[in-house]
């Protein structure tokens, strides 16, 4: 979660002063000083989101606008999901791939009335933007508007109830749709998306608007939650994190992202390689596993079966709700199947674990 920052001044989100005031522990993440946790602690923030409602500052995320007459065909070529299926008002989870099928980044693509809005990982903003620029045609306007947008995520079973007191927007909007609306009188974009597996809304707007909305929600008693709680919440749902579970050395098929990889659509970057991988079967698969004895798996730990190394942990944590160690890992076929017993090497011990069918937490408010 850390990266080397040389000569680049560390940035702050518009909500930085609020984090400091709330007593957050701030760490450098993707070039920003971000709240990893608040004084109540990671576990408390986790339960707040699973059981009630919590609020995250994720303003570090990157935003691009893509419009012009060639926007749709450009995005159809660059992203792996089917952009033609995306209607105005809808969002789509997708990815950018290299010609060899390796993942440049995962992203959310929004279709607005005047064009597209792409949200990418903070650590990849520059890389993604350059990648898109390299392939852009004359009839496409591409802008990196990351510095113009702040972003907060209101997540948890009570998120709709809370947010409805500040907006007239239809918060019964379906999952992965959005609406331009006023919240506390400020013009923002409300998206029914998130990274927690709970009912939730992500609110995009300028710094001024989001500072006001954040303060209103905090004053109303909504608890802030940091990146550490967010990491546990997403892991329990088997949501991939770029840099852990996916990167340029992994492809969407083995990462379990076949559901966003539309090989039946026209040409796109990575298609030939992904068709080949699909045809031959990937050598390994991203799986979910639960510890059978006490132990917390962490990124880089080896996975063994009868003293043979069969995989590597990409993400791991202790699930506060299950009170059990859980993780995501790449495991080589044919040892990747649900129910398979494996061991995780934790320092000098081999701790038994079992491959399970995700998600780890089955009952959530996601589709309330």
Partner 1 sequence: MIIPEDLQYTEDHEWVKIENEIATIGITDYAQGELGDIIFIELPQPGDAVEEKASIGTIEAVKTVADIYSPMQGEIYEVNPILEDEPECVNTDPYAKGWIIKLTNFTNDTANFLTADEYKNLVQ
Q: Site residues (CB under 8 A) for partner 1?
A: 25, 36-37, 41-43, 228, 232, 294-296, 298, 317-318, 347
Which residue in 144, 140, 99, 98 sits closest to 118, CA to CA? 144
Least Å from the CB of residue 318 to partner 1: 5
Q: Which is nearer to partner 1, 39 or 281 (CB)?
A: 39
Nearest distance from residue 56's CB to partner 1, in Å? 16
Measured from the CB atom, the residue of 183 and 232 that comes closer to partner 1 is 232
**Cα–Cα distance measured from residue 45 to residue 49, given in angstroms and rounded to the nearest whole number:** 6
Q: How far is the CB of 296 from partner 1 (least distance, A)?
A: 5
* Six-digit token string for 82: 């089917």
Query: Which residue, 318 or 340, has its beta carbon nearer to partner 1?
Result: 318
- The residue among 197 and 320 lying less far from partner 1, judged by its C-beta, is 320
The least CB distance from residue 126 to partner 1, in Å, is 27
Q: In which residue are the tokens 């199947």 written?
A: 337
Q: Minimum CB separation from partner 1 for residue 76, in Å?
A: 40
Taking the least distance from each CB to partner 1, the nearer of 19 and 336 is 19
Cα–Cα–Cα angle for 300, 304, 307, rounded to 5 degrees: 130
Of 226 and 256, the one with the shorter C-beta distance to partner 1 is: 226
Taking the complex as a whole, the smallest distance from the CB of residue 329 to partner 1 amounts, in Å, to 17
Measured from the CB atom, is 1 or 218 closer to partner 1? 1
Q: Which two tokens stand for residue 208?
A: 């001024």
The smaller minimum CB distance to partner 1, of residues 37 and 59, is found at 37
- Taking residue 367's Cβ as centre, other Cβ atoms within 10 Å add up to 7
Strands 223-224 and 54-57: parallel
Instruction: Report in angstroms how near the CB of residue 29 gets to partner 1 at its nearest.
Output: 12
At its nearest, how many Å lie between partner 1 and the CB of residue 302? Answer: 15
Neighbours of 151 (CB within 10 A): 25
Kindly tell me which of 43 and 141 has the beta carbon lying closer to partner 1. Answer: 43
Residue 250 Cβ, how far from partner 1 at the closest point, in Å? 23
């Amino acid at each position: 979660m850390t990266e080397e920052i040389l000569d680049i001044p560390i940035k702050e989100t518009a909500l930085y002063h609020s984090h400091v005031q709330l007593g957050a522990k701030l760490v450098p993440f993707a070039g920003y000083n971000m709240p990893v946790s608040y004084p109540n602690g990671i576990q408390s923030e986790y339960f707040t989101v699973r059981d009630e409602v919590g609020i995250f500052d994720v303003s570090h995320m990157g935003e691009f606008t893509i419009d012009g007459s060639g926007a749709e065909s450009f995005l159809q070529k660059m992203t792996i999901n089917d952009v033609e299926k995306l209607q105005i008002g809808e969002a789509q989870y997708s990815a950018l791939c290299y010609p060899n099928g390796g993942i440049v980044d995962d992203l959310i693509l929004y279709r607005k009335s005047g064009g597209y809005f792409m949200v990418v990982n903070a650590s990849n903003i520059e890389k993604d933007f350059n990648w898109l620029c390299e392939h852009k045609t004359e009839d496409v306007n591409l802008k990196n508007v990351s510095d113009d947008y702040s972003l907060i995520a209101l997540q948890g079973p009570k998120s709709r109830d809370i947010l409805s007191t500040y907006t007239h927007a239809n918060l019964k909007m379906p999952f992965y749709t959005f609406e331009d609306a006023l919240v506390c009188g400020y013009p923002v974009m409300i998206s029914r998306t998130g990274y927690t597996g709970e009912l939730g809304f992500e609110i995009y707007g300028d710094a001024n608007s989001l500072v006001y909305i954040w303060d209103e929600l905090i004053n109303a008693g909504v608890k802030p939650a940091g990146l550490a709680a967010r990491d546990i919440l997403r892991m329990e749902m088997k949501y991939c994190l770029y840099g852990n579970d996916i990167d340029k050395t992994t492809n969407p098929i083995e990462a379990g992202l076949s559901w966003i990889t539309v090989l039946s659509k026209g040409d796109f970057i990575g298609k030939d390689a992904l068709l080949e991988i699909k045809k031959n079967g990937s050598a390994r698969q991203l799986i979910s596993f639960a510890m059978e004895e006490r132990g917390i798996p962490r990124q880089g730990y080896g996975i063994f079966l009868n003293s043979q190394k069969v995989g590597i942990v990409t993400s791991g944590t202790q699930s506060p709700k299950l009170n059990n160690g859980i993780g995501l890992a790449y495991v080589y076929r044919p040892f990747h199947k649900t129910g398979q017993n494996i061991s995780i090497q934790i320092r000098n011990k081999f701790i038994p674990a079992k491959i399970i069918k995700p998600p780890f937490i089955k009952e959530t408010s996601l589709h309330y």
